[in-house]
Structure 1
Amino acid sequence: MITSTRSSRLTRARRATLVLAPFALVLAGCSGSSVLELEVGDCLRSPDLEAEEVSTVETLECSEPHDAEVYAELTFDGDEYPGTSTVQADSEEFCLAEFEPYVGIAYEESEIYMTTMYPTEESWDQADDRTALCILLPQEDVTESLEGAAY
């Protein structure tokens, strides 16, 4: 299972209040790319990330219309799952710190939202998933990478 934290415009000033939306990882084979294979710079469609169960997503060329982009990844160490609250907090802190270096403007000043996807105990144990992903969510479709967008 991969869990996501999606920030909203209202939480820019109060980062402690974030809305959780669950993502389940189903290990059955499907078409598309495994969510475990996503990398920094991959462009996506956000509806692919909103289902209750997510096993695959379609990556797009960033020149194609898209409304989601992976901008950073954090790899956790260890064999023992550190717990949801630790994984969530570490992922959020990391993604917020990586936002400005990638986008070129502080998160609180940006028009772009962000979300985190991080491993659950199930994906940690069953899929050796140790990676949290930071994902940009512009308010409308874009046809280029958001790296250095500065808005």
Structure 2
Amino acid sequence: MRTRGPVARAAAVGLLGASVVVLVGGCSLFGQDDETDGVSVFDVEAGQCFRVPEEITVELTELPAVPCTEPHEQEAYARVTYTDPATGTTPDTFPGADALTTFADGACAEQFQDYVGVDYRDSSLYFTYLVPSPRGWEQNADRDALCFVTTTGSQLSQSVAGTGW
């Protein structure tokens, strides 16, 4: 999956909001200690919490998961399947990074309030996301944007679900 951040909250660079080209092959490259578990990006579910990898990369295969009661910077809150706005269907061919970014910006913004309990524009938190890479689209049939709540430097020590933060 390719990493991207929302246009409206571009200052919220965290786990997923940079654009450096490096492929990550596994959890050991994140530089985290044994308290984190590598979770495949294809297995991420809403409510899982993650530490920021030491190396921010464009393409990720795993994320360093921790219990939400442990210090973390990211919490997954939605998985949304890409649909082409013109057709309402999910295309077989890669739609391009711009189309996926536009889709994720809107879809993640829409899902934020249902999870956190407040519109992202009124929240002290931010959102960011992962979108499919061209390779993931073709090889793994990856069609989902993964949405994450994030902070701008401070860590969380609980889930943000329903907090209204």
TM range (shorter): 0.7 to 0.9
In structure 1, the gaps of 5 or more residues are: 11-18
Deviation at 1:49, TM superposition (A): 7.2
Matched, 1:70 2:76: yes
Deviation at 1:50, TM superposition (A): 2.1
Matched, 1:50 2:56: yes
Query: What is the CA deviation profile of residues 94-119 of structure 1, one whole-angstrom value per residue up to 9, with x for unaligned ones?
Result: 00011111111111111101101100
* Greater helix proportion: 1
Change (3 A) 1:53 1:79: closer
Cα-Cα RMSD: 2.5
Report the equivalent of 1:81: 94
Return the TM-score normalized by structure 1: 0.80
The aligned length equals: 142
Deviation at 1:20, TM superposition (A): 5.5
- Decide whether the 8 Å contact of 2:130 with 2:147 is kept in 1: yes
Change (3 A) 1:48 1:56: farther
In structure 2, the gaps of 5 or more residues are: 29-37, 83-89
- Name the SS for the 2:42 alignment partner: helix
Q: What amino acid is aligned across from residue 3 of structure 1 in structure 2?
A: T
Deviation at 1:123, TM superposition (A): 1.1
Report the equivalent of 2:122: 109
- Decide whether the 8 Å contact of 1:8 with 1:113 is kept in 2: no
> Separation in 1 of the partners of 2:93 and 2:80?
17
Q: Percent identity?
A: 32
State the 4+ residue runs in structure 1 displaced beyond 3 angstroms. 22-26, 28-31
Change (3 A) 1:46 1:29: closer
- Decide whether the 8 Å contact of 2:18 with 2:57 is kept in 1: no
> Separation in 1 of the partners of 2:22 and 2:41?
10
- Decide whether the 8 Å contact of 1:115 with 1:135 is kept in 2: yes
Which among 8, 15, 21 is matched to residue 10 of structure 2?
8
> Separation in 2 of the partners of 1:45 and 1:66?
5
- Decide whether the 8 Å contact of 2:41 with 2:60 is kept in 1: yes
